[in-house]
Amino acid sequence: MSKKAAALFTLAAFVLFSTSCTMWRTREINTTADYPRENRKILSVVKASGELVEFSKSNPGRLIGNVISGEATVVVMKRSEIVGPFRSIKKDDHGKIFEVTDSSGRVHSVQEVLKEETNKLTVQARYSTSGGVSIPLSEVKLVRFKTTNGVMTALAVLGGIAGVWLGLAAYYIGRD
């Protein structure tokens, strides 16, 4: 096999396998017709309560029946009163507090400071926990899931075939 033919084959294989055949779509759930298909890989869910549930791409959640289940990180925004003394208070460039460590060593990811007193902060904070979850579809507001893009897959396969064909044609024309 000549160097040109090998290069063209490699280029065609690269084009075929590097195109985006799968993608992550976000869908709002209003009716049962909006539900993703059975056994879909789920990346994240926003529940009707506003709670965010995130699955990893390596171990996504699955839709089985009318329940999304799997190992996930649940992110909740809630109002908290943090009592000092504070071990540390971190601020951004604009002086806005984004992280507070309380006297027991617990770290709070602050989204907004609602009230600030000498030894007490009332904040809107983001808390997360990990573990197994089962979410009924009736509680789901938004879902992000993996889907296959049929058009891009077909174009990738046809492009690969065309690349091989052109490579072979160039090889045979250049051989004379």
Domain boundaries, the chain: 1-21+149-176, 26-147
Which residue would you say has higher pLDDT here, 71 or 18?
71
**Of 136, 107, 112, 137, nearest in space to 122 by CA:** 112
Res. 1 pLDDT band, cuts 50 70 90: low
Q: Can you tell me the distance from the alpha carbon of 26 to that of 42, in angstroms, rounded to the nearest whole number?
A: 10
Residue 17, pLDDT score: 61
The answer to whether residue 70 scores a pLDDT higher than 80 is yes
Q: How many CB atoms lie within 10 A of CB 77?
A: 14
How many Å is the Cα radius of gyration of the chain? 26
Q: Can you tell me the distance from the alpha carbon of 34 to that of 84, in angstroms, rounded to the nearest whole number?
A: 47
Res. 153 pLDDT band, cuts 50 70 90: confident
pLDDT in tens, 97-141: 889 888 888 888 888 888 888 888 888 888 877 888 888 888 888
| Omega within 30 of 0 (cis) for the link into 136 | no
* 147: β partners: 23
